[in-house]
Structure 1
């Protein structure tokens, strides 16, 4: 290949960034046009349908962590955090310091976007070579089953990574609501990272430094009602490729479910609380002591549901893999290989969501 061609390939590779997702119809529009039918492509295989019989036998809710106590250095609360990460991989955070007004402005901004006419929303559609924008993620073939939901995905921090052409700035309060919420999420995630660092045998800024230049992204989700919620999934089972994820749920509707002890546990919303989960990058860094957890979203017949997922993401060229403090402190054999984060991210985004299958790519073959 000549130099010009090589440069062309390099340029194309850079433009592709993390990956792409194929364009698909808006589920919101499908429901507007015919609320009683479920197109075949959205009907899940029998083994993947959200049956009542696959609910987890345990009745307890996921752990609840008081972030104010963590910020004050409370050792008992940090012990609770350790338990939550080891046994559940998910926890709800209260007393996080984010004003209710900020949470509400964020929800209002998301609702306002999805209330726009389709032609207006399509102005912010994902490009052929970009995951930012309006559409649906992880669509890699014309044959795969689709999720019953629409989304808009945006990089929100640092400012230099924002692509404003995907931000619907004509929606009153959208930009301001997201930017204010993004700033608050940065504070929350830094406090959680600091406490996880201590639990992993590092200084409090250990995980923050491992990220290098931390990135923040948001996935704004809209799940329309469905006449047959037993046949579809709002989001297919998956773990997150982030380091940690913070979810703002609808206070009135339970849609998130997490895999626990062989069943699915519904995460009942606590008003104004945040749901936090461990991502694949943390699993690799701490050698599987804390594992990212498979989760999914289900739908219902009566009310549409919205949620806002905020992802904390390492810099592209950062290496993920077991840190010395974890391997040395806990005398563990190394279970995960070292890999550039961007290579792992591209790997996951080139495939369908498939439970925890993607994290096998991170593990050593002799595990």
Structure 2
């Protein structure tokens, strides 16, 4: 099934909330590697601390996709527990060829190596977040993230705004398409598996999307002379259904919040990192957790990450599923929201933990 067949291709591509233009961080570092402007310096309580939680990294679940697809009960139980207890897992044997992963990394690295004037040909417009630049910048006083990004909507294909798809380096457009198609296949399979472990028929979650939308964000984190004072991407949870991330093989930077600690998600070569988004948390009435995560920087090397976000059509209505109410959780934690309104509400705010989820939560305090 392709849930993208639900809506007519005549439908106009949506726009998303604009972001205030801010300096290019890669260029700042190129001009003066030691400079860290005040706009990037975090308050003391928000800075990455020296507490080393890397010993917890090995506890983050590793899920074998080939076993899931064979219906292996132990692996399905692992997926269920990973979504409940961590909201994150590393996915191996996912079926995306290693050469596709590597071509994506090589082409993206070439793009970020281009001169600024070449990358700025694809700069974000004033009314949207597609293109090259920075998202979630909503005020001039906001402390900025130490990163630049290329953001594109890739599926459904009639949502694409091809003016923002880089024409150089040669072949980048084609590998973005090939990589995104492969990731979409993984995403659809995961949604079918999540439907199964939630006790529903295979296509249930896909149907609830009305149409499966997929965005792609390539993040570039330059090295920083004072990595203990900046954040690569601010702590946040993802607004959509699930996110699927490819990391650099040997450079750590992603951290997740687990039991009050920041735990690094150490890269496993050729694995994909998957995390639960707010939509799954809402559908599951809080059983599965959309976890706050962030990216940190280092002094030595630039790092690139490749995030694919799957989310519903703007008109899809999101609320706890009746079957997810239970004697342990009889009350609905979330009210019904239209996804398009929820997404744009989150884009109007700076990234700040789960503050954006307040519009959907039911206040249970008397």
User: TM-score, normalised to structure 2's length?
Assistant: 0.94
Does structure 1 conserve the Cα–Cα contact (< 8 Å) formed by 2:240 and 2:310? yes
Name the residue aligned to 2:44.
46
Q: CA offsets, 1:243-264, max 9 Å, x none?
A: 0000000001000000001000
Give me the whole-angstrom Cα distance separating, in 2, the residues matched to 1:329 and 1:213. Answer: 32
Asked whether 1:245 is paired with 2:243, we answer yes
> After the TM superposition, which of the residue ranges 319-328 and 89-98 deviates more from structure 2?
319-328
Matches within 5 A, 1:75-224: 75-224=73-222
Q: CA offsets, 1:84-107, max 9 Å, x none?
A: 000000000000011000001111
Secondary structure at the aligned position of 1:113 is classed as: helix
* Alpha-carbon shift at residue 61 of structure 1 (Å): 3.0
Give me the whole-angstrom Cα distance separating, in 2, the residues matched to 1:16 and 1:212. Answer: 15
How many positions carry a matched residue from both structures? Answer: 354
Name the residue aligned to 2:286.
288
Seen in structure 2, the aligned counterparts of structure 1 residues 32 and 351 have a Cα distance that, compared at 3 Å, is same
Secondary structure at the aligned position of 1:275 is classed as: strand
* Alpha-carbon shift at residue 242 of structure 1 (Å): 1.2
Name the residue aligned to 1:311.
309
Give me the whole-angstrom Cα distance separating, in 2, the residues matched to 1:59 and 1:112. Answer: 30
Seen in structure 2, the aligned counterparts of structure 1 residues 54 and 358 have a Cα distance that, compared at 3 Å, is farther
Name the residue aligned to 1:256.
254
> After the TM superposition, which of the residue ranges 106-115 and 300-309 deviates more from structure 2?
106-115
* Alpha-carbon shift at residue 112 of structure 1 (Å): 1.4
Structure 1: which 5+ runs fail to align?
Answer: 1-13
Pick one of 25, 29, 41 that aligns with 1:27. Answer: 25
Name the residue aligned to 1:277.
275
User: TM-score, normalised to structure 1's length?
Assistant: 0.93
Q: CA offsets, 1:256-283, max 9 Å, x none?
A: 0000010000000000000000001111
Give me the whole-angstrom Cα distance separating, in 2, the residues matched to 1:123 and 1:296. Answer: 28
Give me the whole-angstrom Cα distance separating, in 2, the residues matched to 1:268 and 1:144. Answer: 29
Q: CA offsets, 1:7-57, max 9 Å, x none?
A: xxxxxxx99832111101100000000000100000011111001137487
